Amino acid sequence: MGNFTVSKEFAFVVIAILAVWFLGPHILFSAAEKSRETEIDNFHKAIQQRRDSVAASIKSLGVTDPNLLACIEAGSADRASVSPNGSGGIDDVRELTSLFCVRRKISSLKGISELTALEHLDLSENDIKDIDPLKTITALKSLNLRDNPITNIQPLAKLSQLKNVTLPVLPNMRCSDIRKIIGKARTSMQAIQCKNGSSTAIADSTDSWWEKSEPRRDDSPSLSGHEEAELREFERNARQRYQTQ
């Protein structure tokens, strides 16, 4: 049998094939792992940039009440942690659409007027007397002011998008005046006191009580299915936050 001679070129090709055969999967895995690590790193950087951006925007607000400021910071934290590729995230606190500030010992709303994108706001069980800063938040759809020492709700007349409002006890206001101010907004009033002529009346949350005080309104509020679901979610989240505080 004659001698079999292997050229250097052939040997090199064989070695290269064997190297690819044995090392290829490892190389591909390492490249994929590195790509994934880079992707995760970029994700965390993007989230941190969003958080920093929101934090900077909060500092620029003219909010003077430390308790209100703390609530805004807490309410923005979740939205600032949403991936830039996801929905519902914010890069500026002024993009916030919902805020829950139940039982926070808030006494002043100064500066909240800058949160013009707010659609749902719960300020129940605080020490708020002046709600004038709310009149510029015209995107508001639902508002809870229960258990606050408010005496003047006139600023609510500016909120044309308001569909649902919960009011505090208003024993010194005429019932008819309250109805005129809140306009078409659906009222969630449980044992709300207001003046009915010379006596003090207790208003309930149904239209029947208002019908006794005023003629039937044909423009009674109606919510779309989406708005109804949105309101229910807001109220559910508000209850959950209240129970955990």
- Going 132 to 133 to 135 to 140, the CA torsion angle's sign is negative
Per-residue pLDDT tens for 151-180? Answer: 899 999 999 999 899 988 888 888 888 888
Residue-range definition of the domain harbouring residue 177: 110-244
Specify the CATH number for the domain of residue 217.
3.80.10
pLDDT band at 54 (very low <50, low <70, confident <90, very high): very high
> By the 8 A CB rule, do 154 and 181 touch?
yes
Residue 211: inside a domain: yes
Residue 230: inside a domain: yes
* Total domain count, the chain: 1
What mean pLDDT, rounded, does the chain reach?
76
> By the 8 A CB rule, do 191 and 170 touch?
no
Burial degree of 183 (CB within 10 A; 0-12, 13-18, 19+): middle
Residue 45: inside a domain: no
Count, in order, helices (H) and strands (E) of the chain: 5, 7
pLDDT band at 37 (very low <50, low <70, confident <90, very high): low
Q: Could you give the angle at which helices 66-80 and 8-59 cross, rounded to 10 degrees? A: 160
Residue 125: inside a domain: yes
Residue 212: inside a domain: yes
Residue 151: inside a domain: yes
Can you tell me the mean pLDDT for 57-68? 95
Question: What is the value of pTM for the model shown?
Answer: 0.69
